[in-house]
Amino acid sequence: MSKDSLPPEGFSKIPEDQQVLSRVIGEHDLITAQRLKRKELLVTLESKSDPNFKTAYISFFCGDRSSLDSSDIPAMGDILLSIGDVHQLNLIISGPGGDGTVAEKMIEVCRAYCKEFRVIVPNRAKSAATIVALGADEIVMGYCSELGPIDAQVPIVVGGLIRYISAQSFIDSRMSLLKAYVEAKKKKEDTKPILTQIAVLDAPFIDHCEKLMDFSRTVASKYLEQYMFARIKVKADRDKAIENVLTKLSSVGLFKVHGRMIGGHDAKTDLKLNVKLLAKDDPLWIDIWHYYIRADVALASGASKLIESRCECLYSSRRTE
């Protein structure tokens, strides 16, 4: 025994079976206990993978009041460092969306650590999270999994509260007004009310909205061509498949609302994405679902984000073992 391990003078070392307070505190440390359960599930998922290839599972979860942003990249990089290079990287993702530029960066960061990139959607991966999924080689989905439109969301203040509205909605509103103006002029009707509405439109803001929409389409197109649709050898067919995805996922008119569900079956048959559909009683899906529920409960306990691997766990900006 080293000198540093000896008890202070005048104190005797308490036997472990009598360390009641420390043991009770450990029993009631729910954060650590739940982290251990999630870690066990990640290890179980990795053990079910092809033994000939090194496989890792990591997760990225956003709560309802948080979204993908630039602060997530250092955290994701730290998590990836904890597992190192692998053949197949599985990202379990859940979130309402966020910054499209960060989605692009997240795809690049994940792909830097693997040869094959899979995205697993236990429940929802909307907007920017959908873009991350489109950057995968394969998307794993179940009976309640959903993707969403990739129309960029912009914040506006309504009644003193910040709301996110589709950028395409502002673009469409301007187009509707311009169309109404042309029609009124043809019919020789009074165009002043319409011109008044057009005059109050923020032209730079509308231009920004158009650029945001173009960016989402550009990023999705780039990764679909490089990875998921690379299996389509004829370029004309590949371009057609990509345009089908972009048209449908960026169409406000088609989905009406940003939160509209695009389930696994539609993603596979209508969008023609490389989707692996798991039945609700599939052992792999059961483990994924158990992990998802535990991670979701961790967010409900106060954390805004959860990013973890079997080696490391980050709650928002707070690090835990």
pLDDT in tens, 139-172: 999 999 999 888 766 667 767 766 667 777 787 8
Q: Is the pLDDT of residue 85 over 90?
A: yes
Statement to judge: residues 297 and 269 lie in one domain:
yes
296, part of any domain: yes
For 203-241, what is each residue's pLDDT tens digit? 888 887 777 778 889 999 999 999 999 999 999 999 999
Strand, helix or coil for residue 287: helix
Domain count, the chain: 2
Is residue 119 in some structural domain? yes
**Pair 214, 157 in one domain:** yes
| Pair (204, 188) in one structural domain | yes
Query: Residues 184, 310: one domain?
Result: no
Residue 116 CA, distance from chain mean position: 18
Q: Is 251 a domain residue?
A: no
For 127, the domain range is 52-148+261-320
Query: Region 125-131: what's the mean pLDDT?
Result: 90
Alpha-carbon span 262 to 271, nearest angstrom: 10
157 and 123 fall within a common domain: no
Of the three residues 183, 215, 230, the one that is the final residue of a domain is: 230
Distance, C-alpha 157 to centroid of its chain: 25
CATH number for 302: 3.90.226.10
273 in any annotated domain = yes
In a domain? residue 15: no
Q: Would you say residue 160 lies in a domain?
A: yes
Is 87 a residue whose pLDDT tops 50?
yes
Same domain, 141 and 186: no
Angle, vertex CA 250, rays to CA 245 and CA 253, nearest 5 = 115
Pair 197, 136 in one domain: no
User: Is residue 143 located within the same domain as residue 276?
Assistant: yes
